[in-house]
Amino acid sequence: MASSNDVQRLFLQAVLSRRILSQQLAAKIWEKCIEAVKTVNQTLDIEFNDDRASWDDWVTKLNTSLNPLDLEFAHLFDETSGKDMYALVNRKGDQVAQMATEYTAAEIAYFKGVVRILPPLKSLVPPNLDCLQLEQIMLAPNESYCVSSLAALREVNSLKTNMTKTQAESVLGSFVAKGWLLKSK
């Protein structure tokens, strides 16, 4: 017999089959999951409301369920389109999680150095965001939200590894090619 928990299960299956979703697509998937579960068990009292407050409540409940697994259905903004986006992310930085990437620990440390995570500065982060501040990018001159490639290459000097600037330049190119960073024109 279907239960209200099946909505979360179906939703997570749909999310896992995609890498990243727009808020509109995620909300539509949520709606369809509710419809599918109600089709199987019409006695369930599950409501879908197409408003932001209901969506935010749903995401909060989903994240509460995912928290014991160190997972989060995280909210972010697409830098090129400005759309609200969501992705299922692993919040645990253990050895298993590090095996999920092709980058070495030194390369990940370099990436973190370029976009160092700090507590949010309230004046730079929109009030509806619950996110972390990215030091080099967010504190860039004139709130340009970017750093020059030379500044990014200088970051290699602060690493505790022996990565050369040539290696750092190659890794930066890889980050851009894989969509981790965007290169301005």
Q: Where are the domains of the chain?
A: 4-90, 93-119+143-184
* CATH topology identical between 4-90 and 93-119+143-184: no
Dist CA 185 CA 179 (whole Å): 15
pTM value? 0.62
Q: Identify the pLDDT of residue 57.
A: 93
* 82-108 average pLDDT score: 77
Write down the pLDDT at residue 20.
87
Say yes or no to pLDDT of 131 above 80. no
pLDDT > 90 in the chain, percent = 24
Res. 123 pLDDT band, cuts 50 70 90:
very low
Q: Are 32 and 26 in contact (CB under 8 A)?
A: no
CA angle at 80 for the pair 111 and 130, rounded to the nearest 5°: 65
* pLDDT band, very low/low/confident/very high, at 77 (cuts 50, 70, 90): confident
Which element (helix H / strand E) includes 65? Answer: helix 52-66
pLDDT at 132 over 70: no
Domain 4-90: give its CATH code. 3.90.1150.220
pLDDT of 136: 46
- pLDDT at residue 154 tops 70: yes
Number of H helices, E strands in the chain: 8, 5
Q: What is the mean pLDDT of residues 159-172?
A: 84
For domain 93-119+143-184, give the CATH number.
Answer: 1.10.10.10
Residue 134 has pLDDT above 80, yes or no: no
**What integer pLDDT is reported at residue 159 of this predicted model?**
76
Cα separation, 133 vs 126, whole angstroms: 11
* pLDDT tops 90 at residue 32: yes
